[in-house]
Amino acid sequence: MITEQSAQFYAKSASNHDRIYDRPERKDDLAAMRGHVAETLRGHTVLELACGTGYWTAVIAGTADKVVATDINPEMIALGKLRALPGDKVEFKVADAWNLPDDIGGYTAVFIGFWWSHVKREEQERFLAHLRAKVGDDMFIVLLDDAYVEGSSETVARTDMEGNTYQIRIAPDGERYEIPKTYPSDSALRKKLASSVREIKIVRLEYFWLLTCRLK
């Protein structure tokens, strides 16, 4: 599961979290993915996991019927609430994706943006089993994450025996954190997810990829 180090890093870095979206070389791909996400989740009741500052919550809220956006860090949730999204459509909650409450509610879709790459390969099937137990079979899942692009992505510091890659991130207070961050190919995604989901569809741009599927 996501390490305590990762949670600490993102709590400390909450105010800087969205700077990745300011990189000029990613502007066109980012606009395209905003469009894909909005259309993919149009009319859905969405559970968003690891919502961060609510950047993608705002995108989803434009077309979805309702969004419940969750994150393990209260610091992120506080920033999400500052977006002042319509209260009749958007609700922010502190919740751990790995320990969702039994009364999380009923949904037609789950959105996971830029968090799947932090779930270690050997833990992904277990996470999907946990998610299925909370939201039910046949749930529509949307994964959005970034691709590795030399010169734009953070440098990979090491690779472990399971094939997980890691990056060194520096928090605003100067503390260093080793964060798991993988960049799977389309074939790797299909192979890893095949036992847990069906109807896999992938849209891949230079800087980002979007995968849709249904839990088995």
| pLDDT value of residue 15 | 54
Confidence of residue 88 (pLDDT cuts 50, 70, 90): very high
Q: Mean pLDDT across the chain, nearest whole number?
A: 91
pLDDT at 10: 55
Q: How far is the C-alpha of 111 from the C-alpha of 30, rounded, in Å?
A: 16
Question: Which tops the pLDDT comparison, 10 or 90?
Answer: 90
Buried b (16+ CB within 10 A) or exposed e, 6-41: bbebbebbbeebeebeeeeebeebbeebbebbbebb
What pLDDT, on a 0 to 100 scale, did the predictor assign at position 176? 82
Comparing 2-16, 46-60, 189-203, the range with the smallest average pLDDT is: 2-16
Tell me the per-residue pLDDT of 16-49, one tens digit each, with 9 for 90 and over: 666 778 889 999 999 999 999 999 999 999 999 9
Whole-angstrom Cα distance, residue 76 to residue 211?
24
The residue to which tokens 């909650």 are assigned: 93
Residue 83 has pLDDT above 90, yes or no: yes
Amino acid at residue number 176: R
Q: Can you tell me which residue has the tokens 């691709």?
A: 147
Residue identified by tokens 């510091």 is 157
**Pair of tokens at residue 189:** 């995604």
Per-residue pLDDT tens for 103-154? 888 999 999 999 999 999 999 999 999 999 999 999 999 999 999 999 888 8
Choose among 172, 137, 179: nearest CA to 155: 179
Q: Could you read off the pLDDT of 171-206 as tens digits, one per residue?
A: 777 788 788 899 999 999 999 999 999 999 999 999
Task: Examine the pLDDT at 11 and tell me if it is beyond 90.
Answer: no
Amino acid at the residue 175 = E
Q: Are 181 and 167 in contact (CB under 8 A)?
A: yes
CB 23 within 8 A of CB 41: no
